[in-house]
């Protein structure tokens, strides 16, 4: 038996929190690569400014992770950016956490 086509008149849009989560993930990843480059450029003697920017990148990644996970509660939205943002921010948060813990030891 042929499957009956179902029509939906609800316009689905991308989740705004998911989109913001993906942007924060990319921004945190860019900050990470810039900090790695500057740390090599200064020979590990970057000082407090590089540490502050690095901590800012970690906070952005954690905030993006929370936004990405919260965005799954929105109804009638497309979750593509929510999935991308959550996965990206989860990976970047783990990287930042490892870097911070290595720096403390």
For the chain, what are the domain ranges?
24-104
How many Å separate Cα 25 from the centre of its chain? 3
CB atoms near residue 13 (< 10 Å): 11
The model's pTM is 0.83
Q: What is the C-alpha separation between 28 and 34, in angstroms, rounded?
A: 10
Q: What is the C-alpha separation between 75 and 31, in angstroms, rounded?
A: 32
Radius of gyration, CA atoms only, the chain: 19
Q: Name the phi and psi angles at 11, rounded to 5.
A: -85, 120
Mind listing the pLDDT tens digit for each residue in 46-70?
A: 888 888 998 999 999 999 999 999 9
Mind listing the pLDDT tens digit for each residue in 23-48?
A: 999 999 999 999 999 999 998 888 88
């Amino acid at each position: 038996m042929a499957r009956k086509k179902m029509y939906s008149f609800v316009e689905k849009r991308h989740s705004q929190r998911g989109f913001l989560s993906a942007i924060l993930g990319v921004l945190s990843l860019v900050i990470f690569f810039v900090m790695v480059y500057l740390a090599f450029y200064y020979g590990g003697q970057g000082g407090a400014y590089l540490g502050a920017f690095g901590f800012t990148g970690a906070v952005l990644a954690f905030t993006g992770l929370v936004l990405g996970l919260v965005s799954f509660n929105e109804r009638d939205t497309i979750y593509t950016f929510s999935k991308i943002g959550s996965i990206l921010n989860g990976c970047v948060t783990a990287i930042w956490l490892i870097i911070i813990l290595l720096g403390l030891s």
